[in-house]
Chains A and B, each alone.
Chain A
Amino acid sequence: MTLRDAVPYVAAAYLAVWVVVLLYVGIIGRKLGRIERQLDELAPPSGDGERQP
């Protein structure tokens, strides 16, 4: 196979990996952001050190 013929296959393999990894990171990041926002809304008051006398 010549260099010209091989380039699309090599590019496709590297692109496929980056697309999947970026999709995975995007989905996990969005989920984590949503959960942390909900946690901030629901979290009970923090420890004694922050209480006013």
Chain B
Amino acid sequence: MRALGRPSTTVPLILSLILVPLTVVLAFWWTGDDVDQGFSQKIFYLHVPVALASYAAFGYGAVCAALYLWRRDPEWDLRSYVGVHSGTIFGTLVLLTGPIWAKASWGVWWNWGDRQINVFLILFLYYCAYFMLRFSLDEGERRRSASAVYALLGVGLIPLSFLAVRIAETLIHPTVFTSSGAAMPDTFFLTFLVGLAGMLSLMALLMSVELRGKRAAARLVEYQRAARGEDA
């Protein structure tokens, strides 16, 4: 396997250690309570950045999948897998924090009539099925190609999920970011941006650590094969 370059863990680690606690400090001690939602709005600084980080991870997985199909380098397959895996972990967080916020703010855990949360659930389940597909096939070119095509097809759900809230115009899932800017005070928006940068850093850190683990595992298999006298 040819290495494309080792992703740095130092920069995302430092950024995560600064930005994530800073988000908590800003959210609880700097921004005031929202007029409509009150204290429960604090979940916004966690839930929305986690959701956007999840979209970014799925997007990264899809881009790497496309690069694998183009270049046929197994390293891109590995990166695509790590992207989808991280997206699924962050997607789990979205599905944990979303219903908690919904219950606190709107009195319901889930609303089957809301298009955005339903499209996100479909996106999440779609990428959960990626692992079933991947691990149902033997390791090799066929598995890598099938996984890449599947990861690439799912990327279409990301803009659909993002735009659904704008298309649906439901009251339960209000549109905060519009073409005229963010519909919130500057302190709220700045805290959100810090939270988003923190979550993206955390995601980059987790992805680089997982990628390092996957590369080490691949090297281990090669050594084990060599020790048994098999061809790599």
Chains A and B come from one and the same complex? yes
B residues in contact with A16, CB < 8 Å: 93, 96-97, 100
Q: Do A13 and B46 touch (CB < 8 A)?
A: yes
Q: Chain B: how many interface residues by the 8 Å CB criterion?
A: 35
Q: Which of B114-122, B151-159, B213-221 contacts A (4 or more CB under 8 A)?
A: B213-221
* Contact residue among A24, A35, A39 (Cβ-Cβ distance under 8 Å from B206): A24
Q: Do B220 and A38 touch (CB < 8 A)?
A: yes
Per-residue contact bits, chain B 72-95, to A (CB 8 Å; 1 contact, 0 not): 000000000000000001001100
Does B103 have its Cβ within 8 Å of any Cβ on chain A? yes
When C-beta atoms are compared, the residue in chain B nearest to A10 turns out to be B42
* B window 12-54: CB within 8 A of A: 24, 33, 37-40, 42-43, 46-47, 50
> Secondary structure at chain A's binding surface: helix, strand, loop or mixed?
helix
- Contact residues on A (Cβ < 8 Å of other chain), bracket: 20 to 34
A residues in contact with B100, CB < 8 Å: 9, 12-13, 16
List chain A positions with a Cβ less than 8 A from chain B: 1-3, 5-7, 9-10, 12-14, 16-17, 20-21, 24-25, 28-29, 31-32, 35-36, 38-39, 42-44
List chain B positions with a Cβ less than 8 A from chain A: 24, 33, 37-40, 42-43, 46-47, 50, 89, 92-93, 96-97, 100-101, 103-105, 202, 206, 209-210, 212-213, 216-217, 219-220, 223-224, 226-227
